Amino acid sequence: METMTGAFASSADGRTVTVSSPPGGGIAAGDVVLVRPPGETDPIAVQVLDGVGNGVLLADPGPNAVGRRFASAEVGAAQAADLEALQAARGADLPIGTWTCGDVTVPARLRSQGFGRHTFLCGQSGSGKTYALGVILEQVLIGTGLRMVILDPNADFVGLGDVRDEASADQSAKLRGLDVRVLGADATGATPLRLRFTAMPRAAQAAVLRLDPIRDRDEYNAYLNIEVRSGDTDIVDVVRRLREGDDAARALAKRIENLGLGSWEVWAGDLPSASEVVGSGARVTVADLSGFMDPHEPVAVALDLIEQLWLQRGSRTPTLIVVDEAHNLCPAVPQGPIQTLLVERLIQIAAEGRKYGLWLFLSSQRPSKIHPQVLSQCDNLVLMRMNSPGDVAELTEMFGFAPPALLATSPSFTQGEALVAGTFAARPSIVRMGQRLTQEGGRDVAVPGV
């Protein structure tokens, strides 16, 4: 061990360690250092979790690390092998970029098993969230067998099947071998993004009709009692039959016409619906929600996808449900029946989805924009640059597993830097995201020169 001059460590309880180093001694919050108690040969790895040098003893990589009390231990810098061993001991296997401790930089890895939890990715606009999300999803696709459904509001992931030259031969072969389906509003695409009204659960159909179970008590009830026949393939068939019915049925037909539902592009008709595509065995389904004329269409198709995943939860198919710009689909204050039902179901998945292998990965600019009952269930955090002290304070409060001293450094992050903490991180650490292996969809627009 290469000792650091003037740095000492002690542990009064065998669990926490105090590391003292002279000012400018080169130890920062988040760093892993080695401490060697007097009379011992093997050092113990310790992560310093706050700026004044209080660390936590790590049980890995050295055996018997926890439980020993000591004073005046020498402190040394961790080497690349120590950092790699620490990550390996925690099962961190998915490389997402680099992790620098002191003068040493190693590949940063996430634990693939940690994706069996819900994840929140947060950072201000332009901090690199969508890019980072892409990097992480590519590695999840390469390194696990998880099925993925991506709700993509800005067509940012439409290039996920398009592998870049920078990918290694091995990465490229794995990514090219995946069944990636990109669905969008545009009917000229290979498979358009569609929704089958008649296959939706009744409450979801009523939500599309913007019927509120309390406010529109009578109409809602009339709708529940109307038979949807197996011969009905589309909302157009439903309207035709409603027109032939009694007063209540005719009122519902008028409602559908007045809402302009008949002219929505999103109805499947003879085409497969998005949830049928997911059910057909696609490894990745990218639902590009941009490009619909009516703003209710993307929310309705997202609702159908989530409802069908929930209905089929008994199959226990491990599925990562990715929602970029999650404030659109999972807002703190939902608006209207479609969004309200969608948020209710996302809350249910946040609370109970783990039992069925349904895991959420949500991304947004501010924690307060996302429904708190979903956010509070997230056991993984990726935090990118965040200027607002109020937002950092809220995250500190909500994500107790992320060390406050590391959260507090987020205003100084550059684009592509992130704090990763929680079940999927070997240790809470500040990482620099690596390069994308597939094409980015909607890159930022540059100001043209003259």
Segment contacting ligand ATP (CB under 6 A): 43-51, 267-275, 339-347, 439-447? 439-447
* Minimum gap (Å) between residue 30 Cβ and ligand ATP: 19
Cβ neighbours around 330 below 10 Å, total = 28
Q: Any idea which residue has 């997202």 for tokens?
A: 302
Segment contacting ligand ATP (CB under 6 A): 106-114, 124-132, 185-193, 258-266? 124-132
Listed in sequence order, the residues at least 6 apart from 434 whose beta carbon sits closer than 8 Å to its beta carbon are 95, 96, 97, 98, 135
Task: Report the C-alpha gap between 239 and 254 in whole angstroms.
Answer: 8
Binding-site member from 37, 61, 114, 123 for ligand ATP (CB under 6 A): 123
Binding-site member from 118, 129, 366, 371 for ligand ATP (CB under 6 A): 129
3-state secondary structure of 154: coil
Name the E strands within 241-337.
284-288, 319-323
Q: Does 388 bind ligand ATP (CB under 6 A)?
A: no
Segment contacting ligand ATP (CB under 6 A): 78-86, 121-129, 160-168, 201-209? 121-129
Residue 184 binds: one of ligand ATP, Mg ion, none (C-beta under 5 to 8 A by kind)? none
- Residue 1 contacts residue 36 (beta carbons within 8 Å): yes
Binding-site member from 20, 312, 415, 439 for ligand ATP (CB under 6 A): 415
| DSSP codes joined into one string, 372-430 | HHHHTTEEEEEE-----HHHHHHHHHH-TTS-HHHHTTGGGPPTTEEEEEETTBSS-EE
- Residues from 78 through 137 that contact Mg ion (CB under 5 A): 129-130
Listed in sequence order, the residues at least 6 apart from 112 whose beta carbon sits closer than 8 Å to its beta carbon are 91, 93, 94, 140, 143, 144
* Minimum gap (Å) between residue 126 Cβ and ligand ATP: 5
- Residue 195 contacts residue 273 (beta carbons within 8 Å): yes
Nearer to ligand ATP, 67 or 126 (CB): 126
Nearer to ligand ATP, 130 or 377 (CB): 130
Q: Does 416 bind ligand ATP (CB under 6 A)?
A: yes
Listed in sequence order, the residues at least 6 apart from 169 whose beta carbon sits closer than 8 Å to its beta carbon are none
Task: Report the C-alpha gap between 313 and 301 in whole angstroms.
Answer: 18
Binding-site member from 165, 170, 270, 444 for ligand ATP (CB under 6 A): 444
Residue 126 binds: one of ligand ATP, Mg ion, none (C-beta under 5 to 8 A by kind)? ligand ATP
Segment contacting ligand ATP (CB under 6 A): 36-44, 192-200, 397-405, 438-446? 438-446
Q: Does 131 bind ligand ATP (CB under 6 A)?
A: yes
* Minimum gap (Å) between residue 161 Cβ and Mg ion: 20
Residues making contact with ligand ATP (CB under 6 A) = 123, 125-131, 365, 415-416, 433, 440, 443-444
List residues binding Mg ion (CB under 5 A): 129-130
